[in-house]
Structure 1
């Protein structure tokens, strides 16, 4: 073959090899693009969980109709104003972030079971817009506060009114669900407790600001004075993105509630409690004469709970951890998981590729990258079982909006303790949980990782009731960006 033809042939081979690489990459890049605006009710593909599809093809109710009470004088009437500003922590440091009514954490909202709660939310200066999501409270869908799903983000100068009945006692929190990975981290959140105030109650909201972990906005060791002999209920809220070991040192304590649900027959323990990101736990103990201390992670961050003039003991948490799979004793669930008519799998993995045109390692759900993820379809009244497995290499605190689920098993081992009701479940790497719940709150509900950067990287999908529609769009002119 002449030399010129050899060179031409070599170029063609090289070009062919290049195209063989670039064309598939180009296809993967193009198919990874997320539309500038999309309807969250039509994303991904429908997964019916083996149930009937006969009622799944008609238009039903819009999320805008699934509201709390529109009339009636509220028992709790609060105005919350969100600002972008520099502010001072309770312990002195300055943070450039977000506040609610000028502080972070924002003010405690207090309600009683049966109260009609009305919150007027005003966005004074959060440029990307903001919302309020009532984390762990099973509100009607229109009150859920998810930008692009149940409402538009509230723009600067705008306001939005939330109304719902406080139906279940417990410890909860509120936070923005617009650009939540930034706004929650920056301080746009606060606690809400549904229960009458009690003399021994302590609310401990844990958050990390600019690398400084705090309890109620205070670094280091804080203090609450309670007389010896007082039964203290310590309501602990983890607003960070990672699991945190917490517990009381200086006396045994009971785990009396998890994610707003009472534990049946709790017994005294001295072990630590692993609190997932977004989760809440209520710890109860009688204050000893020498006091006790809530420890968050290590003894360098604690809250002393003690009589006046005493210095409660300081110690690290023990290495062992309370296991809710066996803690407490069984009690009726109120439904039969064995009669489930929807059964889903939620397999969390990770793969290399493109997401919205960006190369990287991305989370997957059932082998699919966002937005081509399963839409879990249910009908009102369905008994739902879901198996959540994780082979992604990292742990994920999985949060289902609008519902509480009961844990049936972990890694194939059945739960034998108190019913473990949860809305934020830590699923470790190489762990598998089976959960169950009743589909009793119609709407379009997010089901996502509450390590919020993970949600922005694709670990997010929805539970949708048959026929649900929404007029809202993610992206677009409203600039809705829930994660």
Structure 2
């Protein structure tokens, strides 16, 4: 009798495990816009018909003769990928208001390739996310991106097809948009780690400094701390947005999260260390150790109007990051969760054009997560209950440490279907991704299947 009971209990447990396993399976081909469940943020429900409405393929940049035209040819070269034979790829520069056209040619990348314009609020059809805004470009084919350089600032571009591998191994580059008519000299310091060696613009060790305006771009999977020796400095811009009346700083580090950018203005010749033995320096400047304190962007600079009222939000979402054991596409393991759910049963944040959106980000997962919303910049309202008091802190990539809670806000003014994910790109195929979807917009593309679209 006891043996029979034990057998029945074992079968019941196995049956339950089998149910969880089966429920976790992801179809071989699927519409990302149809995954998960609709979350209306406490606002009026909106239509969520992923088969009707405007296609993201129609949300494109303008026609006309481009002011800046670039061709980027992607190649697989041994263990690395290159664009026009180099990694990082060529630096793209434009003036504010110019029309940019980039033709991406895939010469030899076997999994296909795309280009995402990180931090640039492009039309959704130009966002470069395989399976959501386009098909990955297969070998021997090309794709043309067109968008207006509306906001001056420091940005970058990278593949969004198998991105946790392709970005790590070289498919990225800098994009700089300067103010119209500006002749101010600046220098890009694009930070990336190849096979354990941290580099600046692809070169390990120390690079020369040619300008006191330094645009630092973190293309790695985790946050870095940078610091200045030999002079004071200002943090002039964060993620492409100018800081209002930035004060001079000394003996402070600056945190640059994965995917983020900061513009530093040095008061004179100096040295900027980016960690890992890499630095940009003027001749004769001796390094100082990493300072113990870090510039707090929550209180840095002077307050200024936001241009909208976050207290009158139409949607109020929660993005609660956790981790637990379960099955993801049939694989058992410890996976990231969003609001307690494992992918693909995660929220689709639904909005209407013009909505004022608030979102609470909480990280209780045990690791830091650099969170990146495509197509929008958000303003930080508070951290751990402390209200922002400095310059409006506009970001597209936000470092959320374990145990931290941020309140952010933005206006939903860029229709489309937008990824909202961790920019430690290894975490995305482990389930840390949701989407922001506008009512009346559908995707024309599928993840998986014959196209091989693998956005993360």
Q: Using structure 1 for the length normalisation, give the TM-score.
A: 0.92
- CA-based RMSD of the aligned residues comes to 1.3
1:208 Cα deviation (Å)? 0.6
Q: 2:198 aligns with which of 195, 213, 225?
A: 213
Q: 1:293 aligns with which of 271, 274, 285?
A: 271
1:224 Cα deviation (Å)? 2.5
Q: Distance in 1 between matches of 2:53 and 2:45?
A: 14
The aligned residue for residue 275 of structure 1 is 256
Asked if residue 419 in structure 1 is aligned to residue 392 in structure 2, the reply is yes
Task: Note the 1:44-443 alignment, pairs <5 A.
Answer: 44-53=36-45, 59-69=52-62, 71-86=63-78, 96-195=79-178, 198=183, 200-225=185-210, 232-270=212-250, 271-287=252-268, 291-297=269-275, 300-304=277-281, 306=282, 310-443=283-416
Contact 1:272 1:317 in 2 (8 A): yes
Q: Which runs of 5+ in 2 are unaligned?
A: none
Contact 1:170 1:259 in 2 (8 A): yes
Query: What SS does structure 2 have at the residue aligned with 1:387?
Result: strand
Query: What SS does structure 1 have at the residue aligned with 2:293?
Result: coil
Larger Rg: 1
Post-superposition CA distance 1:451-480 (Å, at most 9, x none): 001111000010000021111000011010
1:11 Cα deviation (Å)? 3.8
Q: Distance in 1 between matches of 2:355 and 2:413?
A: 8
Contact 1:295 1:316 in 2 (8 A): no
Contact 1:277 1:451 in 2 (8 A): yes
Q: Number of residues paired by the alignment?
A: 452
Contact 1:408 1:415 in 2 (8 A): yes
Post-superposition CA distance 1:125-146 (Å, at most 9, x none): 1000000000000000000000
Post-superposition CA distance 1:59-99 (Å, at most 9, x none): 32110111100x2100000000000004xxxxxxxxx2100
Deviates more, 1:196-205 or 1:393-402: 196-205
Q: Distance in 1 between matches of 2:142 and 2:66?
A: 18
1:57 Cα deviation (Å)? 5.7
Q: Distance in 1 between matches of 2:295 and 2:70?
A: 37
Q: Distance in 2 between matches of 1:294 and 1:373?
A: 41
1:343 Cα deviation (Å)? 0.6
Q: Distance in 1 between matches of 2:195 and 2:365?
A: 27
